């Protein structure tokens, strides 16, 4: 499996808890004797524990495609040598009988529509308009800084994600979120303006987060019209080139989401959260 040879990230969750619990993430290390060896799996920086024979739902990305599989835990804790000097905790999962393209519709998402004030989102979609009808952000230039320009965003060596130098193409509201994906209502937008599987950039500020705005590179996954001029976009968050810098950002997001969820469950029946 080429994805394993490239140590592709993989995300797993106990199969009957998909949509209820967040996914744990690790990397494929090798295939041996009918099992896939995964580097220690974590849920936003915390080691995740899975018992032997636990049924799993998993996802991994290869190229621009997302794949889904089902498996079970064969060995939940064993040391694996990465090199002569480094041992890492690992686990074995059964080689899946089938792998299919996935959509991640059942991922655990926390609804945010009741937030007041809402979380506003800046949204950059692909290159700027062909007619050149756009404006630059304050103190930015069309040619950018060598990493970004008006046409595209980028990423620094230390993992900081940078948006294009032009102003956002659209603005919207964060409707729901998880550690791997977001739902956004985009305003003053037509359904024909957006396409699935396009790379985009977003930026938003979490309430009471003094570290500043969060910026992510994302991929559009689901697109549908909510009402005239408002489009719901489901997005998959890309992991940056610096795994730990990305994890630090996701921890900030997840910390806010869990705090918000605790507030909501005090006044709302928890069984209704997924329908908000």
Report the alpha-carbon distance of residue 274 to residue 189 in Å, rounded: 26
Domains of the chain: 2-101 (2.40.10.220), 110-275 (2.40.10.220)
Q: Which of 206, 233, 222 is nearest to 120 (CA)?
A: 206
Q: How far apart are CA 157 and CA 130, in angstroms?
A: 30
How confident is residue 181, by pLDDT bands cut at 50, 70 and 90? confident
- Region 217-234: mean pLDDT is 92
For residue 134, pLDDT over 80 is answered with no
Question: Chain-wide mean pLDDT for the chain?
Answer: 80
Q: Are 167 and 136 in contact (CB under 8 A)?
A: yes
Q: What is the pLDDT of residues 66-106, one digit of tens each?
A: 788 999 999 877 777 766 667 777 889 999 988 887 665 55
**Inter-residue contact 260 to 115 (CB < 8 Å):** yes
- Higher-pLDDT residue of 196 and 140 is 196
What pLDDT score was predicted for residue 165?
Answer: 80
Residue 59 has pLDDT above 60, yes or no: yes
Confidence of residue 47 (pLDDT cuts 50, 70, 90): low
pLDDT at 227: 92
């Amino acid at each position: 499996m080429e994805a394993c040879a490239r140590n592709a990230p993989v995300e797993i969750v106990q199969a009957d808890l998909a949509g209820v619990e967040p996914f744990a993430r690790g990397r494929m290390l090798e295939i041996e004797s009918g099992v896939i060896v995964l580097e220690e799996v974590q849920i936003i920086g915390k080691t995740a524990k899975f018992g032997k024979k636990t049924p799993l739902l998993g996802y991994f990305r290869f190229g621009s495609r997302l794949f889904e599989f089902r498996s079970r835990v064969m060995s939940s804790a064993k040391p694996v040598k990465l090199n002569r000097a480094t041992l890492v905790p690992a686990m074995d999962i059964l080689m899946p009988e089938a792998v299919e393209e996935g959509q991640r519709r059942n991922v655990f998402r926390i609804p945010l529509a009741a937030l007041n004030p809402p979380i506003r989102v800046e949204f950059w979609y692909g290159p700027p308009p062909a007619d050149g009808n756009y404006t630059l952000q304050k103190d930015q230039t069309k040619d950018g800084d060598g990493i970004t320009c008006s046409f595209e965003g980028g990423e620094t060596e230390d993992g900081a994600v940078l948006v294009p130098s032009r102003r956002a193409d659209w603005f919207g509201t964060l409707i729901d979120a998880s550690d791997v994906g977001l739902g956004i209502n985009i305003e003053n937008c037509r359904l024909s303006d957006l396409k699935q599987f396009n790379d985009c950039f977003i930026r938003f500020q979490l309430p009471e987060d003094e570290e500043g705005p969060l910026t992510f590179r994302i991929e559009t996954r689901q697109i549908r019209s909510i009402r005239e001029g408002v489009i719901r976009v489901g997005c998959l968050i890309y992991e940056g080139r610096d795994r730990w810098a990305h994890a630090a950002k996701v921890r900030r997001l997840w910390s806010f989401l869990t705090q918000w969820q605790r507030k909501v469950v005090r006044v709302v029946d928890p069984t209704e959260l997924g329908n908000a």
